[in-house]
Structure 1
Amino acid sequence: MRRYETFIIIDPDFSDEERSPVFEKVKDLIQQEKCLLIMLDEWGDRRLAYEIKKKVRGYYVRLDYCGTGKLVNEMERFFRIDDRVLKYMTVLLDKDADIELIKEEMAKAEVKETEPDQNKPNIEQDASDINVSETAENETTKTTESE
């Protein structure tokens, strides 16, 4: 199976409720073809580099998925027909993607997102350590100056 990345620019005049059927249709197409959706990343409303269909802003969405050429053709046909989609572009990332490896990476990413950050340094503790060391340096400097 191949790994693809598709960028979609949706008309920003549509609300979240009006945009969601586009995402649902994409998810349905991927499930029908027995493919794998790795990530659906909504970048949000951004300024376009140039006008598209008399619009200066667009709602950007990035899809990362593994699938077949048939899936890509079907998705692009849907994007051409749907009036909410201003522009789209699909790029082939990997000709021979390892599905099992990708699923493991996805599982690891989910675990990292769900567990709390225990590796984060405690800012208050670090600040108190700094103050103690600064105080010790100041006291050492004062004693050497007075001698």
Structure 2
Amino acid sequence: MNNYELMVIFTPVLSDDEFKAAQRKFTTLVTDNGGSIVAENPWGLKSLAYPIQKKTTGLYWVMEFIAPSDFNEKLKIQLLRDESVLRHMTTKLDKYAVEYNGRKRSGVPTANDKVEEVSNG
């Protein structure tokens, strides 16, 4: 079992219910194939760096999950078949990325976060 992060850009014409249903579709796909969801983060509507299918915005969604390595091909096929998906990217996370994501979710400051000192005087 490996840790992965999936980022999907959905077409911006989806309603809130359709956006949530699309998210559920892929989370169910992961769990039905022996994986587990670590975290989900719907970013919502964002501008694209360049037009994709004549669209300048997209609905972003990030999911961190654990799954067997042979599952990625099944996931890729489903993402390519779904017409509401403009782009997708799956990244395998190493132990440092998993630790960083866990600290970020829990609110623990990371090395890159600025810590300001408060002086009493």
**TM-score band w.r.t. shorter chain:** 0.7 to 0.9
Q: Give the share of equivalent positions with the same residue, in percent.
A: 27
Once the 2 structures are TM-superposed, how far is the Cα of residue 88 of structure 1 from its aligned partner? 0.2
- Equivalent residue of 1:30, what SS? helix
Letter in 2 for 1:39: A
- Equivalent residue of 2:89, what SS? strand
Residue of structure 2 equivalent to 1:36: 36
Once the 2 structures are TM-superposed, how far is the Cα of residue 69 of structure 1 from its aligned partner? 2.3
Letter in 1 for 2:58: G
Residue of structure 1 equivalent to 2:53: 53
Q: Is the 8 A contact 2:10 2:86 kept in 1?
A: yes
Moved over 2 A (4+): none
Once the 2 structures are TM-superposed, how far is the Cα of residue 41 of structure 1 from its aligned partner? 0.5
The 5 A counterparts of 1:1-147 are 1-94=1-94, 109=106
- Equivalent residue of 2:70, what SS? helix
Question: Considering only aligned residues, what root-mean-square deviation do their CA atoms show, in Å?
Answer: 2.6
User: For this pair of structures, how many residues does the alignment match?
Assistant: 104
Report the Cα distance in structure 2 between the residues aligned to 1:74 and 1:6, rounded to whole angstroms: 13
**Higher helix proportion (structure 1 or 2):** 1
1:3-34, Cα deviation, whole Å (9 max, x unpaired): 11111000011101112221111121111122
**Higher strand proportion (structure 1 or 2):** 2
Task: Give the structure-1-normalised TM-score.
Answer: 0.62
1:76-132, Cα deviation, whole Å (9 max, x unpaired): 11110111110001111128xx9xx9xxx6xx95xx8xxxxxxxxxxxxxxxxx9xx
Unaligned runs of 5+ residues in structure 2 are 108-119
Report the Cα distance in structure 2 between the residues aligned to 1:46 and 1:68, rounded to whole angstroms: 31
Unaligned runs of 5+ residues in structure 1 are 113-129, 134-147
Query: Which is higher, the Rg of structure 1 or of structure 2?
Result: 1
Report the Cα distance in structure 1 between the residues aligned to 2:67 and 2:42, rounded to whole angstroms: 20
Report the Cα distance in structure 2 between the residues aligned to 1:73 and 1:42, rounded to whole angstroms: 23
